[in-house]
Amino acid sequence: MDFRDKPEEAAFRQEVRQFLKEELPDRFRGISAYEGGGRGDVRSRFGELKEWRTKLADKGWIAPAWPQEYGGAGFSVMQQFIMNEEFAENRAPQVGGMGTSMIGPTLIVHGSKEQKQEHLSRILSGEVQWCQGFSEPESGSDLASLQTRAVRDGDDYVINGQKIWTSGAQYSHWMFMLARTDPDAPKHKGISYFMIDMKSPGVTVRPLVNMTGSAAFNEVFFENVRVPAENLVGEENRGWYIGVTTLDFERSSIGSAVGLRLQVEGLIKFAKEHTKDRQSNLEGQATLRYELADRLVEANVARLLSYRVVTMQNKGLVPNHEASMTKLYASELNQRIARTSIKVTGLYGQLMPGSEWAAAKGRYGSSYVQTLAATIAGGTSEVQRGIIATRGLGLPRD
């Protein structure tokens, strides 16, 4: 495999690097989701990110994968990959969120002319933030079993039910969601895709405070919420097929892979700097040094898995079990890095943010707790292993 950029790719990579060097405000460096903070922190700072968003918008980089006719950059697979990689290396925030990566591409493919006119420009401007209403209390990995109902009533649909694990709902203006419109149809065929104004009467958002004390996600309740029929995306009862369409084809997870490596490098730096003040257990413990070396090697393996996925995409192939391998490996590595960080920092590392004795201001203790969800969010490890077994290895389902 040739890891070198082609001349045109090298030129574009240099363009991205120069842009980040000159334009990324210092106060935003390091606030990406990959080191500390998490997605909720970025979402809560939309106002502060306005200046940065304007700079990205001027280059068409808010939604780089969108066609130029809709305000995107029309990037190729490799251009988008390079941009994501360089942004991750510089810990630069990408501000589009679910609007640019999910609902925007969905509307470009499946939306009506009126829906595109109403929503796409407002997504790019940052005027409207979106959240995803898919998971329910009894419908996570088996999403097609969802029970939230949408019943047609004249020019509206009336929606009742509950969604959960809804990231950023407390900051969002609109939600794209799935609801069951035909309870008698096979479970994959009776689902429709809707857009809902979060200020609609009957919508209640309840933040879920996790073990770190933050509320990155929420539960959302719908009580007789009236949604105009014009907010149905695509055909009624065809929402499942719209929802699972791969619209943003860049699934290499390169940002996660780079972030994992940065975490390990940061941990090594911290251990070296704090050995003498006893906030590090590194001194005299060769096994911990070996463990840190293992984590660094594994982080580079995660990057190679991402390269494999993007190479397939660049050839016009559809990564399936390969993408599951990348996600599974990165999720479990994230947990191993968190465990190693606690070993390195000892009792100081177990303290949470706010304690004057916490190692690295509590980043490692907070990260350790947060990573418990890594093998659940975005598709559980069990589901990923099932995909790898059946689609990758050809093993029987039973």
The one-letter code for the residue type at 359 is A
**pLDDT tens-digit profile of 300-338?**
999 999 999 999 988 888 888 999 999 999 999 999 999
pLDDT of residue 128: 93
pLDDT of residue 25: 86
Q: What is the DSSP letter of 31?
A: -
The three-class DSSP label of residue 208 is strand
Catalytic residue chosen out of the listed positions 250, 273, 356, 382? 250
pLDDT of residue 283: 67
For the segment 282-302, the average pLDDT, to the nearest whole number, is: 89
Of 30 and 280, the one with more pLDDT: 280
Virtual torsion, Cα 116, 120, 122, 125, nearest 10 deg: -160
Residue 395 has pLDDT above 70, yes or no: yes
For residues 149 and 137, what is the distance between their CA atoms, to the nearest angstrom?
A: 14
Average pLDDT of every residue of the chain: 89
- DSSP letters, 238-307, are BHHHHHTS--S-----HHHHHHHHHHHHHHHHHHHHSTTTTS---TT-HHHHHHHHHHHHHHHHHHHHHH
**pLDDT tens-digit profile of 102-147?**
999 999 999 999 999 999 999 998 889 999 999 999 887 788 899 9
For residues 313 and 79, what is the distance between their CA atoms, to the nearest angstrom?
A: 12
**pLDDT tens-digit profile of 164-199?**
999 999 999 999 999 999 999 998 899 999 999 999
pLDDT band at 94; cut points 50, 70, 90: confident
Virtual torsion, Cα 65, 66, 68, 70, nearest 10 deg: -160
How many percent of the chain have pLDDT more than 90? 61
**pLDDT tens-digit profile of 49-76?**
888 888 998 898 999 989 999 999 999 9
153: enclosing H helix or E strand: strand 149-153
> Which domains are seen in the chain, by residue range?
7-95 (1.10.540.10), 130-237 (2.40.110.10), 254-392 (1.20.140.10)
For the segment 348-354, the average pLDDT, to the nearest whole number, is: 89
For residues 300 and 317, what is the distance between their CA atoms, to the nearest angstrom?
A: 24
250: annotated active-site residue: yes
Residue matched to tokens 């409207």:
128
pLDDT of residue 248: 47
pLDDT band at 36; cut points 50, 70, 90: very low
For the segment 140-166, the average pLDDT, to the nearest whole number, is: 94
